[in-house]
Chain A
Amino acid sequence: MSLLEAIRVAFEGVTANKLRAFLTTLGVVIGVGAVIALVSVSEGASAMISSQIEGLGTNLIVITPNNTRVVFTAKEADMLADRVESLDAVAPSLSARAKVKWGINNHDTTLEGVVPAHLDVRNYSIAAGRFLDAGDVSWNRRVAVIGHTVLDKLFANRDPVGQELIINGQQFVVIGVLAEKGESFVQNQDDVVLVPVSSAQRLAGTSNLTAIYARLDSGDLAPTTVAQIRRIFERHYGRADQVRVQSQDELLGTVSSMTRTVSLMLGAIAGISLVVGGIGIMNIMLVSVTERTREIGLRKAVGARRADIMSQFLIESIFISLLGGAVGIALGSLLAAGVARFGGWEQGVSPSSVVLSFGFAAAVGIIFGLYPAMRAAALDPIKCLRYE
């Protein structure tokens, strides 16, 4: 019997019981759908997070205290600027929550005391007005540069430059607006008010800093520079692990290991549902073999060989599982598109994941269809013809 004819015979078997075939495919549908969705979602999410991390600033190094007893002051920032040659710029920063007010409009936002280098180090750019300068910092001027979200919330569409802004009860003058940067995975980088670090420290009644940002001359120097900074702080505080020093590469590494974990977890779920789906297929195929005992007997009587019967049932189970695979790919793609819309990243189902999951579906059909098919092929035609 030709393969084409074998496929036709198997197809007749499937269409004989459409509802049952459909229900049988559900396990595979869910398994394949999960594979498609998880691959697409984790690829999309990690691509988005990576681009956000890169958007934080090129060749960025972030230094933060590792516990509450450690405090940074301008001294530590100067120390780094003096001693680490591979750093292009050092930008100490003090950030806190603050209530800002213009007229009757209120908004809760992040207040960050920064230095002029902050603009470059953090990859911001100015949309209107000007950024803080050295004079603003040394004279503790009460001037502020606002992010796009703050502009929206307080000023609607009016020009804010020159307006008076009340920050935690103190008067500041808006001198500039930051260009829109978009949401990062940690925070909304546009929901921010930047003031001179000295003014922020005075406002908070402290001389502490919350973070030191630094920019490398070149990304290749990241590992050695991070190690050097760690050594400097170890000597400074007399013990290791007092500060956290993170380069962009490390942040990216953290994200990719995170997405790997998520992928593995979802992969396990997909694997389990494929196995469950496969067992469902096997079960139905065994029922189908029993139901069609007489048919098998007849086919054998008129000349079907073992291989003919075997291929009939095997192709049938592969057909069912591939059908499930196709529906699963469609559903998984829809799900991935929905999640991508919600998460705000580019949606894309990679061809490799389609091929992979179709392969999985075919494998499930073969593995779980083999036993019922072998049983059917081994049946004795005499007993089959007499079967009631």
Chain B
Amino acid sequence: MISLRNVTKVYATGGEVHALRGVDLDILPGEYVAIMGPSGSGKSTLMNILGCLDRPTSGTYHLAGDDVSGLSDDQLARIRNVSIGFVFQTFNLLARQPAQRNVELPLIYRGVPPAERHRLAAEVLDRVGLARWAHHRPNQLSGGQQQRVAIARALVGQPGFLLADEPTGNLDSRSGQSIMVLFEQLNREGMTVLLVTHDGRIARHAGRILHLFDGRLVRDEVNSEPLSAESEMERISLQAQIAAAGGVIGA
């Protein structure tokens, strides 16, 4: 699915910054991969290249067999539209548009006719459990619900993989965990999921953890016993109950 060969990225702004120093990486369809690393490790740069938002300075990137490392901006836009589903830390929903219209956005740029668009958007909104909220605007939704809308938007175009950048970063642990449950379900159904995070506990949900340091892939770890998002969810609600009980006892 994804194949990087000796990918480097050098930024020329204010002296040369080597953000990536030769990364080789293969990701197979259906994998659940977490990319970890401290800030400045090249994590964001790698994510931008994987997401076809940026081009490597050297090396090649094959996505579903096609070399995408030398494409033009508009060609990359097309690849992003068709092959990649983005989930951002800050959701990035259009504030004035209802959930349904936000979800339809990738299909609008693909030129899908309105009726078809509405049907597909309604389908994925139902899939993420927001069928009832289709006509609410983002400010009428909770953070967790907003991130679900964003995931629906990422899924609606049936992309090759999901690329999630700190998807739980702006959420409380409970709604963050519900998002992780959703990713786990999607992965179980065959969706390739790439998770970019600095949170080790979040990363341990993935079946494979890549550690990035100083622009190099320093460790490619197979996580044979990934955390189950559902049991994590139970653990968190148990903690919450204990805390609530403690509050009652304290009073």
At the interface, yes or no: A5 with Cβ under 8 Å from chain B? Answer: yes
At the interface, yes or no: A301 with Cβ under 8 Å from chain B? Answer: yes
Closest to A6 in B: B108
Q: Which residues of the partner chain B approach A104 to less than 8 Å between Cβ atoms?
A: none
Judge whether A382 and B48 touch: CB under 8 Å: yes
Report B172-203 CB contacts with A as 1/0, cut-off 8 Å.
00000000000000000000000000000000
Give CA–CA (A303, B156) in the complex, Å.
Answer: 13
Q: Which residues of the partner chain B approach A304 to less than 8 Å between Cβ atoms?
A: 77, 109
Query: B23-31, B81-89, B207-215, B220-228: which one contacts chain A?
Result: B81-89
Q: Would you list which residues of chain A between 279 and 314 have a CB under 8 Å from chain B?
A: 294-295, 297-308
If the complex has contacts A295-B94, A382-B48, are A303 and B54 also in contact, measured as CB distance less than 8 A? no
At the interface, yes or no: A234 with Cβ under 8 Å from chain B? Answer: no
Judge whether A305 and B74 touch: CB under 8 Å: yes
At the interface, yes or no: A250 with Cβ under 8 Å from chain B? Answer: no
A-B contact count (CB 8 A): 61
Give CA–CA (A308, B108) in the complex, Å.
Answer: 10
Closest to B73 in A: A306
Give CA–CA (A297, B110) in the complex, Å.
Answer: 17
At the interface, yes or no: B111 with Cβ under 8 Å from chain A? Answer: yes
Judge whether B81 and A303 touch: CB under 8 Å: yes
Interface residues in B, total, Cβ within 8 A: 25
Give CA–CA (A120, B53) in the complex, Å.
Answer: 88
Judge whether B53 and A382 touch: CB under 8 Å: yes
At the interface, yes or no: A186 with Cβ under 8 Å from chain B? Answer: no
Q: Which residues of the partner chain B approach A16 to less than 8 Å between Cβ atoms?
A: 96
At the interface, yes or no: B105 with Cβ under 8 Å from chain A? Answer: yes
Q: Which residues of the partner chain A approach B37 to less than 8 Å between Cβ atoms?
A: none
Residues on B lying within 8 angstroms of A by beta carbon are: 48, 51, 53-54, 73-74, 77-78, 80-82, 86, 88, 92, 94, 96-97, 105-106, 108-111, 153, 157
6 inter-chain pairs at a CB distance below 8 angstroms, sorted by A residue, are: A300-B80, A303-B78, A303-B106, A303-B109, A305-B78, A306-B74
User: Top 9 A-B pairs ranked by shortest CB distance?
Assistant: A303-B81, A303-B109, A302-B106, A305-B74, A298-B92, A305-B77, A304-B109, A382-B53, A301-B86
